[in-house]
Amino acid sequence: RLLDGVEDDAAIQHECAVKSLISTQVRYEEELAQSNEARANKTKDLIRSIIGVRPKGGTDFETLTALYRQIFSYLQFVSRGQGGLDGKGLSQADPAAVERAVERELAAALESVFPRIGLKSFVLLGAEEKRLQLEELARIVTGIRLFNREQGKGGAGLDHVEDAVATTVSDLREALDAEVAEQHEVCTRYQETLVYCHLRKPDEATAENLERWAQELANRRQYCAYLASLAEDAAASARRVAAQRDAFASEMDELQGMVGGRAAVPKEHVYPKFDAVAA
pLDDT tens for the 279 residues of the chain, in order: 444 545 445 555 555 666 666 677 678 778 878 888 998 999 999 999 999 999 987 788 999 999 999 999 999 998 876 654 344 444 556 788 888 999 999 999 999 999 999 998 999 999 999 999 999 999 999 999 999 998 888 888 888 877 888 888 889 888 888 988 998 999 999 999 999 998 888 888 889 989 998 999 999 899 889 888 988 998 898 899 899 889 889 989 989 888 876 777 888 888 999 998 887
Alpha helices in 95-206 (DSSP H): 95-113, 119-122, 127-150, 161-200
Distance in angstroms (rounded) separating the CA atoms of residues 147 and 80: 18
Structure confidence at residue 49 (pLDDT) = 95
Where on the phi/psi map is residue 219: left (φ > 0), alpha (ψ -120 to 50), or beta?
alpha
85 with 164: CB under 8 angstroms? Answer: yes
Q: What is the pLDDT of residue 154?
A: 87
The pLDDT of residue 87 is 44
For residues 86 and 80, what is the distance between their CA atoms, to the nearest angstrom? 10
User: Dihedral angle at the C-alpha atoms of 171, 163, 251, 101, nearest 10 degrees?
Assistant: 160
In this structure, which long-range contacts are made by residues 192-196, counting pairs with CB atoms below 8 Å and at least 24 apart in sequence? 192/2, 193/2, 193/3, 193/5, 193/6, 196/2, 196/3
pLDDT at 17: 62
Please, what's the b/e burial string for 235-270 (b: 16 or more CB within 10 A of its CB; e: otherwise)?
eebbeebeeeeeebeebbeebeeebeeeeeeeeeeb
Residue 242: which residues within 8 A CB-CB, separation 6 or more? 166
From residue 185, how far is each of 171, 180, 226, 266 by CA, in Å?
21, 9, 16, 62
List of residues 6+ apart from 277 with CB closer than 8 A: 142, 143, 146, 147, 248, 251, 252, 255
What's this model's pTM, rounded to 2 decimal places? 0.73
CA dist 13 and 89 (Å) reads: 37
- Identify the pLDDT of residue 31: 82
pLDDT of residue 82: 61
For residue 29, how far is the Cα from the chain centroid? Answer: 12
Residue 114 DSSP code: S
Instruction: Return the amino acid letter for 146.
Output: L
Residue 251 makes CB contacts below 8 A (sequence gap 6+) with 273, 276, 277
Percentages helix, strand, coil for the chain (3-state, rounded to 5) are 80, 0, 20
Beta strands in the chain (DSSP E): none
Distance CA 154, CA 152 (A): 6
